[in-house]
Amino acid sequence: MLVQEEDYLFDTEFTIATKTIHKTCDQAHGAINPPIYMSSTFELKDVDSFGKGYFYTRCGNPTRTVVEEIVAEIEQNNYAIAFSSGMAAIQCVINLLKEGDEMLAMDDLYGGTIGYLKAIAMEKHGIKVKFIDMTNLDEVRKQMNENVKLVYLETPTNPTMKLTDIKELCQIVRQIKNNVVVAVDNTFATPYLQTPSILGADITLNSGTKYLGGHSDILFGTLSCRNKELYDNLFKISYLTGGCPSPFDCYLVTRSLKTLEVRMKQQIKNAYILAKYLEGHPKVEKVLYPGLESHPQYELARKQMRAGGAMISFYIKGGAAEVERLMKGLELFTMAVSLGGVESLIQIPAKMTHSGLTEDKRQELGITQNLIRLSAGLEHVTDLIKDLEHAFKNI
């Protein structure tokens, strides 16, 4: 299938490549790549220097600072914090709340986020969480009240690819209560495709394990924000709870960010071609991909994203048995959770990432036994289509 950039990119001019490549030079010695400071502690120059600059790696490290500065810049924020995983970053955001506070959460979220909110935030910390469909902004208006301190969402969502109008949501929330924190998990979109901060979000979150790392070899997370007081609160939580990344992982993400744009462009192109292929396949019931005109929020995707992304979910005709046969027929697609790496991955949300939800909740969200989620990698797309075509013959 011959496609042009205009077919799969809504914005062909936007770029972050120069920022990610040219912010890593070691100023002290001119090394093209920043050094890895493998030190847990740092010499104090005098008795009054504790707590100033670098003194203990849980509280800051020069290698970590490099990646944080890059993330802050490409997300158009003033500050960023790196974490040892996406879940550590999520926990930091939720820890802004105290017992009795309320938050609104998107009903369709990563299974680990839902699990944390229910088992830890709600059951152990006494935080009141309302899960609502934020594609319906009237529902946001209805549920907002004086006790709500945080609004938390993903867009696109995992795994049903629902979108929330970030700008409109932020305006609605602030009309009702000005000091509510709006946090957007931007993992599926990445800083290349979506910039929540310019749409009004206070916090942008990424599971850096995915596209920022891009090679399925690290666990990583990031938060970024513009407000200094909010940053100070988040940073204090981060070093007191201890979810900091190793200097080596920070180096790996800094390295990977240099190729984020070029990787994303090819992965988006592959995803678009795969989505078009799946949409026309007789054994596919429905394709969920924001870059297709058939997506119910296609116009919103064009408004706040720069492309449809590299994640696709689709329903096949049949049930669990047909899905299992399809999976067994694949050779190039690797059946594994996670996403965003150079290799194409495929998984069954109902049995894997969202298996912790009740059957009723999965049905309500559309996470049925015949839903499949795939992450388009960098393989030649013709080979990926041949792999799917071979597997479809099993059903």
Going 53 to 212 to 199 to 102, the CA torsion angle's sign is negative
> Which pLDDT does position 25 carry in this prediction?
66
Q: What is the pTM of this model?
A: 0.96
Is 80 exceeded by the pLDDT of residue 178?
yes
Is 80 exceeded by the pLDDT of residue 200?
yes
**pLDDT higher for 263 or 53?**
263
Tally the residues of the chain: 395
Question: CB neighbours (10 Å) of residue 10?
Answer: 17
Cβ pair 103, 151 in contact under 8 A: yes
Q: Average pLDDT in the 107-119 region?
A: 95
Q: Could you give the percent of the chain with pLDDT greater than 90?
A: 92
Is 70 exceeded by the pLDDT of residue 270?
yes
Is 70 exceeded by the pLDDT of residue 387?
yes
Residue-wise pLDDT tens digits, 127-171: 999 999 999 999 999 999 989 999 999 999 999 999 999 999 999
Residues with active-site annotation: 58, 110, 185, 210
Counting Cα atoms < 13 Å in the Cβ hemisphere of 153 gives 27
> Which pLDDT does position 48 carry in this prediction?
82
Chain mean pLDDT for the chain:
96
221-225, strands of its sheet edge to edge: 79-83, 221-225, 203-206, 181-185, 148-154, 102-106, 128-132
> Phi/psi at 83 (nearest 5 deg)?
-130, 165
Q: Integer distance in angstroms from the first to the last C-alpha of the chain?
A: 25
